[in-house]
Amino acid sequence: MLWKIAKKEFLLNLVSARFVIGFLLCLFLIPFTVMVNIDDYDSRMRVYRVDKANAENSFKYVRVYSYLRPEVVKPPEPLGIFCRGISGNVGSRVKIWLGEKPLFATGKAAIHDNPLLNSFFSIDFIDIIAIVMSLLALIFTYDACTREKEEGTLKLQLSNSLSRHKILLGKVLGVYLTILPIVLFCYILSTILILHSPNISFSAGDWGRIILLFFLSLLYFTVFIFIGLLISTRLKSSITSIIVCLFFWVFFVFIVPNLAVYMAESLKKVQSYDNLQYGLQDLNKEFQNKCDEYYKKLETPDWGMNWNHTWDTDGRRILAGCTKSKMEHWRKKFVFSEPLRVDYADKKWNLQKAYLDSLDQQRNFAEMISLISPSEMFRLVCASLCRTDVASHYRFMDRVRRYRDELIDFLRDRNIFSSFIYFTPQPQETFMSADEIVRIRTGGEFNTLQEYNQWAKAHNWSLAPLRKVDITGTTFGEYPFLDLSDVPVFRGKSENLLAGLKQVFLKKVAGLIIVSVIFFYLSFLSFLRYDVR
């Protein structure tokens, strides 16, 4: 008898306008969204390739260790086509500095090229499922009891020896049978589109996750079926029922997500990023003062001239062609400054960590509020499944920070901070004294630095006489790049099927199941007492 009711419901639904419109809506929206997201993935992939090439170059074309600042580039997540999560907000590139631990990834704007486009939001497959499937579930169930009551068929049915729970179950089954093909169709269609796209390849684990996504969609759908059923059993007319259902839908799907984040923003305070930067700048100044103090104690070199000299932030410096004592002077500076720089990175991290924690608290708070909406619960679980959630990002950043430690350990173990190769490609035995350099460069015009200085003083410190004869080995281009084969490289760990999912399943999926059971139980109770007249 149960099956008969289910079949009747199914057939009735199948010929209804709502089925046709719902199906058409999916037929139009799903391929379109999947295409938009495949396109987005392709452009992320393009950006990734460019970034990757740049990162490899920055690792390859290095002549001194002070310029070794590797960049970690995270490949785009193929499952992000289904659910983008926060992948659009956080970047994918992390540069490893000595003076600062990685706080955020950069490069998020590169995906659009035009940062002004950030004012447009984007939508993914899971959003569509969350919006359309919940709508369909409500549209198929809002009149489950009210319509039959209005038509009088409910009374007739119950006058037979048919238990109420069978009718309710039959209706649920009927709706399930109607929607199942639509959900299945959505997934198959998007899978076909993805398979046709040349850039995307999923691992076996990824396919497993897609299947989990499918079952999760069914669970999500179930929750809304029971919400619709409950509303239908509590109200007497179909039109009231649909209005109530739709308001619940708008509330859960459109208002709660914005409400939750907005409330979190105003209730959980976060220091502004720029003020954090001012805090860090103070530490930078402190570091610089300590260095300057130490530098004062050093012996002054015989000649301050740096023949070829390029420098940049974070202690990057490359020199060639200065005097032996100047080189030694620089070496002593680095012996002091670089370990101190690393120590200061740890000090800065205290501030940064506090900032990160406050951001995380804000997010946590938003997540807590958003859990009143099943669709937000569903989105969060999907983001974890697609590895685009916050936890996945944290795991990545943790790995990057560990990699930085590894790199610093490597530099320390090899005593690179205290060796000349940290800042000059020039071999130690080719360093010259000031007089030697002056004699060779001026072609014998001046024999000592003192002679040149006397002349230069009267000639506005012109360097022209020093350009007469070149000394080989004083330009950077004459030296090969460093052999960095023994330097540790960042390895992205591949995650197994269920990595990072235990917590999510324990909390949120269990939450979804409990919510659906409660709604079912309530609608069941309500239907038992339903006045069918």
Partner 1 sequence: MLKTIIIKELQNNLYSLRFHISFLLCIVIFAVGTIAFLKNQDAKMQEYSKYRAEFRNELKETAESNAGKLAVNKRAFIWRPRANAFISDCKEKYFPNRFIYSAYNVYGFEVGPGGTNPFLSTFQDLNWSFIVSVVLSFTVLLFTFDTISGEKETGALGLTLSNSIPRATVLLGKYVSAIITTMVMAIFGIVLSILIVLFSRKVDFTSAMLMETLAFMLLVFLFLSCTAAIGTFSSVIAHKSNVSLLISLTFWLVFVVIIPNTAIFWANKIFSIEHSDVIGRKIYAALEEHRRSAPPGSASSSDANPFMPEHKLRADLETKLNDAEISIKNAYYQDMFRQLERTRLVTLISPIALFDYMDEAVVGGGYARFKKVWADLHGYQVQFLQFFKAMDAADPDSPHWYNPWGDYSTTKKPVAFEQVPLFDEKPLSLAARFSFLRNYLVVMVFYIAAVFSLTFVLFLRYDVR
User: What part of residues 1-60 is at the interface with partner 1 (CB under 8 A)?
Assistant: 17-18, 21-22, 25, 29, 32-33, 36, 39-40, 43, 46-47, 50
Cα–Cα distance for residue pair 396/398, rounded to 1 Å: 5
Cα–Cα distance for residue pair 173/7, rounded to 1 Å: 8
Of 287 and 307, the one with the shorter C-beta distance to partner 1 is 307
Cα–Cα distance for residue pair 14/178, rounded to 1 Å: 7
Within positions 277 to 316, which residues make up the interface with partner 1, using CB under 8 A? Answer: 278
Q: Binding residues for partner 1, how many (CB under 8 A)?
A: 84
Query: How distant is the alpha carbon of residue 1 from its chain centre?
Result: 51
Any contact of residue 110 with partner 1 (CB under 8 A)? yes
Among 188, 211, 239, 514, contact with partner 1 (rule: CB under 8 A): 239
**Residue 481 DSSP one-character state:** P
Any contact of residue 118 with partner 1 (CB under 8 A)? yes
Stretch that binds partner 1, among 125-133, 416-424, 442-450, 517-525 (CB under 8 A): 125-133
Of 140 and 420, the one with the shorter C-beta distance to partner 1 is 140
Stretch that binds partner 1, among 121-129, 422-430, 438-446, 478-486 (CB under 8 A): 121-129
Cα–Cα distance for residue pair 515/459, rounded to 1 Å: 87
Nearest to 476 by CA among 431, 429, 423, 425: 425
Q: How far is the CB of 162 from partner 1 (least distance, A)?
A: 27
Cα–Cα distance for residue pair 127/124, rounded to 1 Å: 5
- Write the single-letter amino acid at 51: D
Q: How far is the CB of 112 from partner 1 (least distance, A)?
A: 6
Residues in the chain, overall count: 533
Stretch that binds partner 1, among 101-109, 213-221, 409-417, 519-527 (CB under 8 A): 101-109
Q: How far is the CB of 276 from partner 1 (least distance, A)?
A: 8
Within positions 434 to 473, which residues make up the interface with partner 1, using CB under 8 A? Answer: 460-464, 467
SS (H, E, C) 100-122: CCCCCCECCHHHCCCHHHHHCCC
Q: How far is the CB of 414 from partner 1 (least distance, A)?
A: 32
Q: How far is the CB of 383 from partner 1 (least distance, A)?
A: 9
Of 46 and 414, the one with the shorter C-beta distance to partner 1 is 46
- Give 399-413 as a DSSP string: HHHHHHHHHHHHHHH
Of 272 and 485, the one with the shorter C-beta distance to partner 1 is 272
Of 196 and 457, the one with the shorter C-beta distance to partner 1 is 457
Any contact of residue 85 with partner 1 (CB under 8 A)? yes
Cα–Cα distance for residue pair 108/119, rounded to 1 Å: 14
**Residue 472 DSSP one-character state:** T
Among 119, 159, 160, 485, contact with partner 1 (rule: CB under 8 A): 119
Helix axes 134-141, 204-234, angle to 10 degrees: 30
Helix (H) or strand (E) holding 471: none
Q: Which residue has the tokens 């000649």?
A: 303
Any contact of residue 359 with partner 1 (CB under 8 A)? yes
Token pair, residue 413, equals 């173990």
Q: How far is CA 480 from CA 58, 162, 475, 484, in A?
A: 15, 88, 11, 12
Q: How far is the CB of 410 from partner 1 (least distance, A)?
A: 29
Stretch that binds partner 1, among 2-10, 273-281, 337-345, 399-407 (CB under 8 A): 273-281
Stretch that binds partner 1, among 123-131, 429-437, 495-503, 523-531 (CB under 8 A): 123-131
Of 335 and 391, the one with the shorter C-beta distance to partner 1 is 391
Q: How far is the CB of 420 from partner 1 (least distance, A)?
A: 23
Stretch that binds partner 1, among 85-93, 198-206, 488-496, 498-506 (CB under 8 A): 85-93
Q: How far is the CB of 240 from partner 1 (least distance, A)?
A: 5
Q: How far is the CB of 41 from partner 1 (least distance, A)?
A: 12
Given a contact cutoff of 8 angstroms between Cβ atoms, the answer to whether 430 and 474 are in contact is no
Residue 353 CB partners (closer than 8 Å, separation 6+)? none
Any contact of residue 362 with partner 1 (CB under 8 A)? yes
Stretch that binds partner 1, among 106-114, 342-350, 436-444, 487-495 (CB under 8 A): 106-114
Any contact of residue 97 with partner 1 (CB under 8 A)? no
Of 24 and 513, the one with the shorter C-beta distance to partner 1 is 24
| 200 to 229: interface string for partner 1, x by CB under 8 A | ------------------------------
Cα–Cα distance for residue pair 83/85, rounded to 1 Å: 6
In a 13 Å sphere around the CA of 456, the CA atoms on its Cβ side amount to: 16
Given a contact cutoff of 8 angstroms between Cβ atoms, the answer to whether 346 and 97 are in contact is no
Sign of torsion, CA 442 447 452 455?
Answer: negative
